[in-house]
Amino acid sequence: MEFSAGSYKIQGLDVQALASEFGTPLYVYDGAVIGRQIGRLKQAFSGVNLRIKYAAKALTNISVLKLIRKEGAGVDVVSLYEAQLAFRAGFTAAEIMFTPSGVEFEEIAEAVSLGLTINLDSLSALKKFGERYGNSYPCCIRLNPNIMAGGNLKISTGHSNSKFGISIIQIDEIVATTQQYGIRMAGLHIHTGSEITDSGVFLKMADILYDISRHFPDLQFVDFGSGFKVAYKEGDKVTDIDDLGRKLTESFNTFCKQYGRDLELWIEPGKFVVSESGVLLADVTVVKPTPTVTFVGVNSGLNHLIRPMMYDSYHHIVNVSNPAGEEKKYTIVGYICETDTFGSDRPLNDVREGDLIAFLNAGAYGFSMASNYNSRVRPAEVLVVNGQARLVRKRETFDDILRNQVEVDL
């Protein structure tokens, strides 16, 4: 979202006009930003055989998935329903990586029947996979490197107490199980966490993967996950993608020479691809001064954007309606019957009831984590492509809240 000529615009479209046309609350995604981010990754890793597998859980709207496929990325899914969404968006089985966590084995078996690349994250699943498929179907394993990294404990997934992956300390058991059943190991995978800014963390992961690869002579790819950080506010330290791409490319090419042949380098960006593309628009319902703070209440809440309450995340907030107003301090809150705070003591241009407020960097884990809490409906979604705003999800209605309820006579 850009500020120019006294108004906020997305690809030249006035944000207030979008809110008037489609109503609020409203998620709006800038397709050009999604294309730009995928292009940045391709450029940064141009020296290797790169495969981008977009982490669909960040934002699963089918039209957004179609755009991401058009930009040349594959997809990583964590459930069979995400896989079905990917198929609906045009992805082929060969373009889909399936990385579940703690699911029933029959879900993994269904993914095999669909032809997906299977990524296993427990010794139990690996053993069951070997028992059922032997060497007839390849797989990948997700390793836990025992590295603490990421912007919040809830999004740090590679430490020793994380539920994700098979600990590298258990490598002997991994190898023994693989040999016992003749399992074809196609890939090795590590995802250490989200919002990692230090290229050294990825290089440390790389060394771990390179060392473990000696046990598996028939690998096709090595998957470094993601965790690339984008800026949520001015001055934020971010992942230097160009620096990371340069260093990891050099490291990976050296490894491939030692391994004896070229492999594919996979990455699984989610937030990096879609976060900066999205804004959540909401109307101010009340300006509530108290002796200690002035609250700005909006017609949205943690049911639409839970990240500030769940992860203590920062989203920059702007008053779209009054960009030239006097700057004052406000605490912006939602309409949910819980402590429901988007931001405390934020400087905003003078806010009036009826103004339009925008929450930036809301493309990732915004709508995809939305709920019907308090029996509130979820918002509409709009995708802007080539200067045109397209409705890609209708706003829910009360009928949607009732849809699967079964009313019985008591």
Q: Which residues are catalytic?
A: 337
Cα gap 109→111, rounded to integer Å? 5
Contacts of 334 by beta carbon, 8 Å cutoff, 6+ apart: 297, 298, 300, 301, 302, 303, 304, 340, 341, 342
DSSP annotation of 326 reads: P
**Token duo for residue 276:** 């900066």
Residue 269, preceding bond cis, omega within 30 degrees? no
Which residues, including other chains, have CB under 8 Å from residue 129's CB and lie 6 or more apart? 105, 108, 118, 120, 139, 181, 183
Q: Which stretch of DSSP H or E encloses residue 55?
A: strand 50-55
Q: Per this entry, what is the length of the chain?
A: 410
Instruction: Decide: 367 and 27 in contact? Cβ < 8 Å.
Output: yes
Structure tokens at 288: 């509530």
**E strand map for 251-396:** 264-267, 278-289, 294-298, 317-319, 327-333, 341-349, 356-359, 380-385, 388-393
3-state secondary structure of 399: helix
Main-chain dihedrals φ then ψ at residue 144, nearest 5 degrees: -100, 115
DSSP code string of 87-144:
HHTT--GGGEEE--SS--HHHHHHHHHHTPEEEE-SHHHHHHHHHHHTTSS-EEEEEE
Calculate the dihedral angle through the C-alpha atoms of 55, 58, 63, 67, rounding to the nearest 10 degrees. -50
Q: How many Å apart are CA 315 and CA 231, to the nearest integer?
A: 10
**β-bridge pairing 185-189 and 221-223:** parallel
Identity at 149, one-letter amino acid code: A
- Ramachandran class of 225: left when φ > 0, alpha when ψ lies in -120 to 50, beta otherwise: left
